[in-house]
Amino acid sequence: MANSPQDDAAGKPTKKQDKRAADIKGKAQHELHAEFENLLQSILTKPHLWFDRSLQYLRNFVATVSRGIDRHKFTAVEGDEALTVTDEKESSTTITTKFISSLAAGKNLPDDVDPILSVLSRKTGFHDHLHHESMIQNQKQKVKLTHLTLLDGDNNQIHARLATHLADIGRQLVEGDIIKLELFTPLTYHVKEDSPLMPALFILQYSRVGHAPVPLQKSIQAMLCCEPTKQPPTEAPAYNILDPLTQPPPECTFDKRLCRKFGVNFIGRCICEEIPVDKRNLEIIAEDCYLVSANDGIDKLKNKNKRIMLYWWYATNIYSLNGKGNRGKLPDCLEYAIKAKYPEKDSSDWTGYKDGSKPKKKKIQLN
């Protein structure tokens, strides 16, 4: 027996019915887009409508697309009127050239110029941090870190890490952002134990100054290695011994800023005024400093050990002299202030700073 029309209606829709349903859906979507386009045109002609409470969803959407963390995902497509529109202020920033190659070659960087680099990539995540064995045995804590890959004007790459206090705000950086490095420390590292040295940056302060598309991948240069030194090994240089018992304090002025070292610039005032020695709490420093044991209390320590704790604190926390073999002589103004705070009884007891002959032993040899 043949199926009745009622049976066909209760079964699978016919092609004609599918086409009719698709036409109805398409017409509804077209009307919806037309209505929304009319709304946007009304806002353009009557800007006060933009502030209507009912349009908060639209304002939030525009903010996400134009200024949000994922704004790089919402790019123009061919045929858009905005395809060739650029922000003159954003695109006119000049990226520093010869910066990364100078780092790799071991050349001195000018202290009065803040390098401007472009963000190629950014990665933020939690990393395990192991407490020093003198504190908490085998316990780790999660530390949020933001790592960057940056480009200079020659399309050379360099890896960088933001200081921990910048890790969260650094999440807002995206590919193409242009940043000015206002406070940073150049570093070197080995990818593997037997691999060549690579330059890197530890960034303590930066500002976003623009945005521009990054170069095509084929024009980006490979990572540069540090050039091996061509100078023959020399004896450790001798440094003058600062003696607050017999000498006046060294002058650290605007024209001759002694504490401008290791990529850290103190412009307005000396470090001894900005971060005074007498405001450092040795009991707190003792919790982290592994060079000196203060188990019997700070009062029981000799002045020499107190000085070592302060040398360590300023070297690691201010000048970022962290890691095996990464040492340097602290500024004379700071060394003098620390010695004046915790002096020796006799001038003959001062030994001064000495370059370590064995970089594997990380020591601060100020006295």
Q: Provide the residue ranges of all domains of the chain, joining segments of one domain with +.
A: 24-62, 91-219, 237-367
Q: What angle do CA 290, 295, 298 make, to 5 degrees?
A: 90
Confidence at 84, pLDDT banded by 50, 70, 90: very low
User: Over the stretch 309-326, which tens digit does the pLDDT of each residue have?
Assistant: 888 888 888 877 765 556
Averaged pLDDT for residues 126-154: 69
pLDDT (0 to 100) of residue 298: 82
pLDDT at 123 over 50: yes
Confidence at 179, pLDDT banded by 50, 70, 90: very high
CA-based radius of gyration for the chain: 31
Confidence at 361, pLDDT banded by 50, 70, 90: very low
Express as a percent the part of the chain with pLDDT over 90: 9
pLDDT at 33 over 80: yes
pLDDT at 83 over 60: no
pLDDT (0 to 100) of residue 119: 93
Q: How far apart are the first and last CA of the chain?
A: 109
For 169, residues 6+ apart whose C-beta sits below 8 A from its C-beta are: none
pLDDT (0 to 100) of residue 135: 41
Please give the CATH topology (third level) of the domain spanning 91-219.
Answer: OB fold (Dihydrolipoamide Acetyltransferase, E2P) (2.40.50)
Averaged pLDDT for residues 156-184: 89
Burial class (CB in 10 A: 0-12, 13-18, 19+), 24: exposed
Q: Which residue has the tokens 């002589």?
A: 329
Averaged pLDDT for residues 181-201: 82
pLDDT (0 to 100) of residue 360: 39
Who wins on pLDDT, 305 or 215? 305
Confidence at 76, pLDDT banded by 50, 70, 90: low
pLDDT at 120 over 80: yes
Confidence at 149, pLDDT banded by 50, 70, 90: very high
Determine the distance from the C-alpha atom of residue 29 to the mean position of all C-alpha atoms in its chain, rounded to a whole number: 46
Instruction: Tell me the three state secondary structure of residue 187.
Output: strand
State the CB neighbour count (10 A cutoff) for residue 320: 21
Partners of 127 in the β-ladder: 143
**DSSP state for residue 67 in the 8-state scheme:** H
Confidence at 74, pLDDT banded by 50, 70, 90: low
Instruction: Lowest mean pLDDT of 70-84, 112-126, 182-196, name the range.
Output: 70-84
User: Over the stretch 93-105, which tens digit does the pLDDT of each residue have?
Assistant: 789 999 998 888 8
pLDDT at 131 over 60: no
Task: Kindly give the pairing relationship between strand 177-190 and strand 197-211.
Answer: antiparallel
Who wins on pLDDT, 343 or 357? 343
At 183, give phi and psi (nearest 5°): -150, 115
The chain-wide mean pLDDT, for the chain, equals: 76
**Rounded Cα distance, 206 and 166, in Å:** 9
pLDDT (0 to 100) of residue 157: 92
Averaged pLDDT for residues 51-65: 82
Q: Residue 56 is inside which H or E element, if any?
A: helix 56-67
pLDDT at 139 over 70: no
pLDDT (0 to 100) of residue 118: 93
For 163, residues 6+ apart whose C-beta sits below 8 A from its C-beta are: 202, 203, 204
Who wins on pLDDT, 141 or 296? 296
User: Over the stretch 208-256, which tens digit does the pLDDT of each residue have?
Assistant: 998 888 877 767 777 777 766 554 444 444 556 777 788 888 888 877 8
**Rounded Cα distance, 26 and 80, in Å:** 23
User: Over the stretch 257-298, which tens digit does the pLDDT of each residue have?
Assistant: 888 887 777 767 888 888 888 888 888 888 777 777 777 788
